[in-house]
Structure 1
Amino acid sequence: MNSQVFQTPIEYLKGVGVSRADVLKKELQIFNFEDLLRHFPFKYIDRTRFYKVRDINADMPYVQMLARLTQKEIIGEKHTKRLVAQAHDDTGAIELVWFQGVKWIEKALIPGKVYVLFGKPGFFNGKAQMAHPEMELYSTEVQQRKGNLTLQPAYSSTEKLKQFSLDSKGIQKLVAILLEQQLKDIHENLPLYLINRFKLIDLANAYRNIHFPEDATKLTEAIHRLKFEELFFLQFRLLRNKLLHTQKFKGNIFGTVGELFNQFYHEKLPFPLTNAQKRVLKEIRLDTQRGVQMNRLLQGDVGSGKTVVALMSMLIAIDNGFQACIMAPTEILANQHYQTIKELVGDDFIEVGLLTGSTPQKARKVLHEKLENGQLKILIGTHALIEDKVQYKNLGFVVIDEQHRFGVEQRARLWRKNIIPPHILVMTATPIPRTLAMTLYGDLDISIIDELPAGRKPIQTVHYYDTQRLRMFGFMKQEIAKGRQVYVVYPLIQESEKLDLKNLMDGIEVMSREFPLPDYRLSIVHGKMKAADKQVEMDRFIKGETQIMVATTVIEVGVNVPNASIMIIENSERFGLSQLHQLRGRVGRGAEQSFCILMSSHKLSRDGKIRLDTMVKTNNGFEIAETDLQLRGPGNIEGTQQSGVLDLKVANIATDQELLISVRKCVEGIFEKDPQLTLPENQILHQTLQVKGQGLSWNKIS
């Protein structure tokens, strides 16, 4: 594509001008020729065939017909004025009605002539009818002209655009002008060997046929070509980032597995490592010996043992003379990591510190000193870790938890804490489907812990309707009698916060009646409470002073109560799959059998039913994530919005998985064979990269 031509501001296109350009910019973010070229139709109206009057029914979408106009008349006065016409083909008659533009349309219609009619069929008093059809005189010229007997593009528009005659038809005209004027400037951007290998049509042809398809086959070919290109350059960018990263960022070499690691492994590890944990440790071990900064994503379900892997990796760093840190997005999560690691290592093994916004000034001062002199080996905290005044003696290993909550710049500030950047391990408890991980984290190496520690029983999940509430209460009482504890969670969605709070308060009232003092005690936690009050309520539950915690989704992250064995999710149809899965992961942390009860009304949408059925059927986070991706599409999966990576116009990561995988392999092959893109056949990629790379920051990885 001739990039300079397509960067021309949209107001310079014939038929646009300043006022139309303003509304195109505001409503559709169309600023230049390229934006308009890539404003693709959202559907196509089939004008490849003519229907007969006898073939039509009221359930049909828009249809095209060929009929002779026999009569027309204007009926009614002023406000009730309408134009009614009759048309016939050899199978019957159809009535045509217009309520607007009556005078103008009436003048244009000529009885006795054959017209191409296009509109939505309906029936009134048993007779075929079409309101506001498009009418075009039929002639041999019309028959031959493209855009009549074709798949017609339908473009998204808005009420504001329609005021400037930029409905779907208006936009279609602008695209037609652009293609007529600039089609010759759409140059190829892929090497010939790729076009031949993947049987792709050329780029100019693809753009012409996605807007004005000659037929269904040409449309399919155009969509395939543009999907391929979109995914190709996305993976190309990510893998080039990865390559540049290995060339640019040297890493400390952890040459030995030393005393601390071995002592912990043989004497302190409370349970044997799973094969998945061993495999991930091996991957990290190899990464930290290569002399290149490690950049690895560790995925694993809640409870799969990511923290132990992170700790053992940090011990390797400490054995090699470095310090390590864990950065978590919230104080609750930082506290939980601190408690878990302290329990695992004990008091006399290595010094571990905690730094959050709540750390008192006096304690901070001591922490800073111990960090700078190297006495403090592991620091756990929140954003406080990246403050300039936090100085390490020799930071060698950084663990970032739930990384999608941190921006690139925040992560980069951690790198600067050492002359040679520390190795980075990014952890997430949100399982990400393989294709989405390839795209969101395509520049990271990916490790997966896909098995739970031995002795963990899978959580049993059931779906109850509101009418089965008494059964749920009975089950709660049975479990509490065994000494167990229960979570009851209500959704809290900002748009309906008042209603949600009312539901929560009503729920608390019902619970208090059903579980009265002194036999039962409740903890209550919701978003409107002060942080200190929340902590008091959580602490009471953690200590076992209360048996039931009624809460909004604030408990989603960061509460670990092994004695809690039931998770009840109210209005579960209102939660997304990943949220339901995260909530369920709050139980099942002890050796006892745990349960998750999904409560819902009988009114369930199709997607709501699939979500709840999926939860009942499987505990596997990756299966759940795949279903979530299919249902919601990639743009709505947690963490993808702020990535900016998934700005895809044609391709869809949920439905184009096979294509994405083959494209990824293809790009990997190119970089293996020609990392610097110096071969003659790859010169076109080198040039495209220069154009597409403008304004992109290639160095911002991890």
Structure 2
Amino acid sequence: MNQQIFQTPIEYLKGVGVARADVLKKELGIFTFADLLRHFPYKYIDRTRFYKIREANPDLPHVQIIVRLKSKEILGEKHTKRLIAQVYDDTGTMELAWFQGIKWIEKSLIVGKAYVVFGKPGLFNGKAQMAHPEIELYSPEAIKKQGNLKLQPAYSSTEKLKPFSLDSKGIQKLIAILLEQTAKDIEESIPQHLLQKLRLIGRREAYMNIHFPADTSHLNLAVDRLKFEELFFIQFKLLKNKLLHTLKFKGNIFGTVGSYFNEFYKNKLPFDLTNAQKRVLKEIRQDTQRGIQMNRLLQGDVGSGKTVVALMSMLLAIDNGFQTCIMAPTEILANQHYQSIEQLIDDEFLEVALLTGSTSAKKRKVLHQKLESGDLKILIGTHALIEDKVQFKNLGFVVIDEQHRFGVEQRAKLWRKNIIPPHVLVMTATPIPRTLAMTLYGDLDVSVIDELPAGRKPIETLHLYDSHRLRMFGFMKREIDKGRQVYVVYPLIKESEKLDLKNLTDGIEVMAREFPLPQYRISIVHGQMSASDKDFEMQRFIKGETQIMVATTVIEVGVNVPNASVMIIENAERFGLSQLHQLRGRVGRGAEQSYCILMSSHKLSHDGKIRLETMVKTNNGFEISEIDLQLRGPGNIEGTQQSGVLDLKLANLATDQQLLMIARKCVEGIFEKDPQLQLPENQILNQTSHTHNGGLSWDKIS
């Protein structure tokens, strides 16, 4: 059997050729036989029933009618050209109309011949009409053949494909040719013992039935099998990488809990650790004693205390003679970490340094020397950390914040800063649904901080409409009178013609009228300001020199002002749930009760309403992330696009959670019992991972 057949360029399929291949590549990304085979139908239509023209009610979604062609003519000039065909049956007449692909349709129509037309029935000037119907010559044999196939597959196509006869029907014909030619070459990819255990049908049968199902039950069996296959191989690749990583990368052993860790824990830690923080520290401690490089993801809501866990893990590394660093995606966030850690430890105890694009050449020179000599133990910075000039004497522990904002190569550069790769702790303040975490970070061990530090009061969230604006202003004034500070966040900087949103410039004018000098002072921060101007304005707010910060979402991360107790989000319906949750997390950092006010217009979409109701109902980031996944789908959750693993054709992480769990357990069971895949029953997986997975490639998964 020739497995390479599925990698054959699409132009070599009978009926395709160079011109059609070119448009298939451009429009649908179909380059090979495998790509076409995995161009699955997006819906199925019952084509068993035939209607009469008289029965073609405009309320029906689509009808199929056998008609005879009475006449055809092309009307109109250039842009208004249309092809009109008059057809009839024994109950009446109907008009068919086409506005595109006119030439090739007109050529195929022969007056006097019988046709099967399929489309959405309508009325035009009181007469039955059908616009852009599918049409093919009628023959009793074709109808009999079609009768055996109750569900007709419908394939996504585009307007540019139609002149090449590549509408849904045209694509269906190509897939029929492809299956006729290659079905015998579709090999099994999953071990038989799993197929039997899970009662899954074979792979060849699944591909035949997803394109041309005999009935609904056959279709469901095919979908279940192919969904499982998608999820199984994502988990297979991730867990195989994890196993290879464990075997390949040795890790430094942190055998000592020494003076730095103990001194900090006993005398410098300003609060008691939560049980969740203690649990995560224990997990990290165990990881760093195994002699294998640690790769751990630390998930925790805004304000849950991830930075303290990171710092204490770094002190553990320093106690064992190693240097440490934190890499953050932005200068604001790097500064935030630097300030947080400086507040927890002073220079007498341990020096902490900051390296970003803004660091002067003079400071850089000193930093480089201290790093190379091993005198500097904690370095915090941005991408600047991965520059070749930055050389550590003995880097043993790396913290990467919001890792989805860094590319794989950028992270790898940091690992290469030492002969034995440093232990890696990846942190994210964006709660990730369990299924998504298992798919994006399935090769990492996951720790979760799921409780807030003692004394933190849950933020109260309210949803107000624009008509309640005076009430909102009154509330702001009362909080400011108590000595508190307020954020007001806008989605845009200047007015947009396309989006009717409250914009920052107008907002500042309104705020200046409502909160006049000298009683009130306002800071303004947005993305088009220079870094120094932004920093100046933020520092004024942090120091309490201004009571109101009017900003765009630039303050989503990186500002920690315990005295700020109110977050007002204008046009809240236009923000995603994850972003709303991140913005809300800017307040509630002190001991006082904090509030988040979501302002919106009365016009709310269904999803917009759910998002705002969710925010009012819960402060739990993981609960919010699950709802976000249901609303937006995995491809739109921040950071998933670059991961490369979410190009799922059938499976859906929001709705197929149970199937993903089963797939993960199956893969774990296989590697537990047979890590080298040496058992005869698992040889199929060895072939799959070395070849193109039965011809249908999984190589793109990373």
* Smaller-chain TM-score bracket: over 0.9
- Residues in 2 aligned to 1:503 and 1:549: alpha-carbon distance in whole angstroms: 14
Would you say the 8 A contact 1:155–1:172 is kept in 2? Answer: yes
Report the counterpart of residue 469 of structure 2 in structure 1: 469
Aligned 8 A contact 2:149 2:214 in 1: no
Distance change >3 Å, CA 80–CA 458, structure 1 → 2: closer
Which digits, 9 at most, give the CA deviation of each residue in 1:444-479, with x for residues without a partner?
000000111111111111111111111111111111
Provide the secondary structure at the position in 2 that maps to 1:97.
strand
Residues 151-186 of structure 1, C-alpha deviation per residue, up to 9 Å, x if partnerless? 212222222222222222221111111111111111
The equivalent residue for 1:346 is 346
Output one character per residue of 1:555-579: Cα deviation in whole Å (capped at 9) or x when no partner.
1110111111111111111111111
Corresponding position of 2:172:
172
List aligned pairs for 1:37-116, cutoff 5 A: 37-50=37-50, 57-65=57-65, 72=70, 82-88=84-90, 93=91, 95-100=93-98, 107-109=110-112
SS in 1 for 2:463: strand
For normalisation by structure 1, the TM-score amounts to 0.93
CA–CA distance in 2 between the matches of 1:37 and 1:80? 34
Instruction: Quote the Cα distance in structure 2 between the aligned partners of 1:137 and 1:631.
Output: 44
What letter is aligned with 1:676? Q
Greater Cα shift, 548-557 or 342-351: 342-351
Residues 83 and 545 (structure 1), Cα distance of their counterparts in 2 relative to 1, 3 Å cut: same
How many angstroms does 1:480 deviate by?
0.7
426-435 or 411-420: bigger deviation:
411-420
Question: Which residue in the other structure is 1:35 paired with?
Answer: 35
Matched, 1:555 2:585: no
> Percent same amino acid at aligned positions?
76
5 Å-filtered alignment, 1:379-458, equals 379-458=379-458
1:497 to 1:375, Cα distance in 2 relative to 1, 3 A? farther
State the match for 1:202 in structure 2. Answer: 202
**Contact 1:677/1:685, CA 8 A, preserved across alignment:** yes
Which stretches in structure 1 are left out of the alignment for 5+ residues?
Answer: none
CA displacement at 1:419 relative to structure 2 = 1.2
1:298 maps to 298
C-alpha displacement of 1:125: 7.4
1:298/1:425 contact within 8 Å kept: yes
User: Could you tell me whether the CA contact under 8 Å between 1:96 and 1:131 is conserved in 2?
Assistant: no
Matched, 1:631 2:627: no
Separation in 1, partners of 2:595, 2:109: 70
Aligned match of 1:249: 249
One-letter code aligned to 1:239: L
Quote the offset at 1:55 in angstroms: 7.0
Find the counterpart in structure 1 of residue 238 from structure 2: 238
Q: 1:134 to 1:155 in 2, by over 3 A?
A: closer
Distance 1:68 1:327 in 2: 69
**Superposed CA offset, 1:270-300 (max 9, x none):** 1111111111111101100000000000000
8 Å contact from structure 1 (residues 95, 128) kept in 2: yes
Kindly report which structure 2 residues correspond to 1:604-643, keeping only aligned pairs within 5 A, or say none. 604-643=604-643
Secondary structure, counterpart of 1:153 in structure 2: strand
CA-to-aligned-CA distance 1:286-316 (integer Å, 9 cap, x gap)? 1000000000000001100000000111111
Give distance in 2, aligned partners of 1:303 and 1:677. Answer: 44
Partner deviation per Cα, 1:595-646 (whole Å, 9 max, x = no partner): 1111111111111111111111111110111111111111111111111111
Bigger mean CA offset, 422-431 vs 14-23: 14-23
The verdict on how the C-alpha distance between 1:501 and 1:392 changes in structure 2, with shifts beyond 3 A counting, is farther
Alignment partners' CA distance in 1, 2:19 and 2:127: 45
**Contact 1:143–1:149, Cα closer than 8 Å, also in 2:** no
1:73 Cα offset (Å): 6.4
3-state SS of paired residue (2:290): coil
Give the superposition deviation at 1:496: 5.2
SS in 2 for 1:555: helix
Residues 80 and 593 (structure 1), Cα distance of their counterparts in 2 relative to 1, 3 Å cut: closer
Gaps of 5+ in 2: none
The alignment's TM-score, normalised by the length of structure 2, stands at: 0.93
Q: Tell whether the 8 Å contact from 2:73 to 2:83 is kept in structure 1 after alignment.
A: yes
**Paired residue total:** 690
Q: Distance in 1 between matches of 2:617 and 2:248?
A: 46
Look up the SS of the partner of 1:145 in the other structure: helix
In structure 2, the residue matched to 1:369 is: 369
Q: Supply the distance in 1 between the matched residues of 2:400 and 2:418 (Cα, whole angstroms).
A: 16
The residue aligned with 2:307 is: 307
CA contact (8 A) 1:2 1:186 kept: no
TM-aligned CA deviation for residue 42 of structure 1: 1.6
2:355 alignment partner in structure 1: 355
Letter in 1 for 2:96: W
The answer (yes or no) to whether the contact 2:494–2:505 under 8 Å persists in 1 is no
| 8 A Cα contact 2:400 2:424, kept in partner | yes
Structure 1 pair 571/148, CA: closer, same or farther in 2 (3 Å)? farther
CA shift, 1:373, in A, is 2.0
Closer, same or farther in 2 for the Cα pair 1:383/1:149, shift >3 Å?
closer
Query: Which whole-Å deviations, capped at 9, do the CAs of 1:359-392 have from their partners, x for residues lacking one?
Result: 2222222222222222211111111111222121
Change (3 A) 1:179 1:463: same
